[in-house]
Amino acid sequence: MILKSPVVSGLEKTKHPTQKSLALMEKIISIHTNPNDIVLDPFMGSGTTGLACKNLERKFIGIESEKEYFQTAQKRLNLF
């Protein structure tokens, strides 16, 4: 399967160097999971996968070792 996605820009863009687009992550998650499934992202980065899960009513577990990116993800997901 090949999925095309625009480059992340505008208000969606964060400082993370390999940020994926929200539309792409929502497409992948909607194809491979059902509502209330749990999605694990062990390299959470800016939290795009978590935001997609929130939008699609999936549960999310995210892990990020870089403090700056973790804080970005917290803000995007409205946590803490």
Q: What pTM, to 2 d.p., does this model score? A: 0.86
> What is the residue type of 22?
L
Give the pLDDT confidence score for residue 63 in this predicted structure. 98
Burial of 60 (0-12, 13-18, 19+ CB in 10 A): buried
pLDDT at res. 34? 98
Q: Parse the chain into domains and list their residue ranges.
A: 19-76
Q: What SS3 class is residue 41?
A: strand
Q: What's the CA gap between 35 and 16, in Å, rounded?
A: 28
CATH domain 19-76 topology: Rossmann fold (3.40.50)
Q: What is the pLDDT along the chain (80 residues), one digit of tens a residue?
A: 787 777 787 777 888 877 889 999 999 999 999 999 999 999 999 999 999 999 999 999 999 999 999 999 999 999 75
pLDDT of residue 42: 98
